[in-house]
Amino acid sequence: MKSSAVSAKTDNWSVRVGEYLIGTLPEMDFFRIAKDSAPNQAVQREQLCEADYYSGMQHLLAGDKAVATTLFQACLATREFDFMEYAGAEAELNAFKSH
């Protein structure tokens, strides 16, 4: 990976994910950016898959299993089978069923 400086205001989706995870980007903005920054519907599905998963994990870590479940289900609804976030959401939902 080539090193480059990234400004505080960026269209780089990976940076926006990081901002959300460290708490500097509110969840509502995170989902809006996931949807609005995508250049086409295929990328939008990919970004929403990731947003649903990471937001679901944040809710799960905060103890809100109901919202996490809804977000993991939304992640699976994107049908982005090749994404690790999809696999993670599937694993979390399966773990819920076994407890």
DSSP sequence for 18-71: HHHHTTSS-HHHHHHHHHHT-SSHHHHHHHHHHHHHHHHHHHHHTT-HHHHHHH
Looking at the domain assignment, is residue 52 inside a domain? yes
pLDDT at 39: 92
Looking at the domain assignment, is residue 5 inside a domain? no
Using CA atoms, how far apart are residues 73 and 30, in angstroms rounded to an integer? Answer: 18
Q: How many CB atoms lie within 10 A of CB 17?
A: 20
pLDDT at 83: 95
pLDDT at 75: 97
Q: Model's pTM, two decimal places?
A: 0.86
Which residue range(s) make up the domain with 57? Answer: 13-98
Q: Count of domains in the chain?
A: 1
Print pLDDT tens along the chain (99 aa): 333 444 445 569 999 999 999 999 999 999 999 999 999 999 999 999 999 999 999 999 999 999 999 999 999 999 999 999 999 999 999 999 887
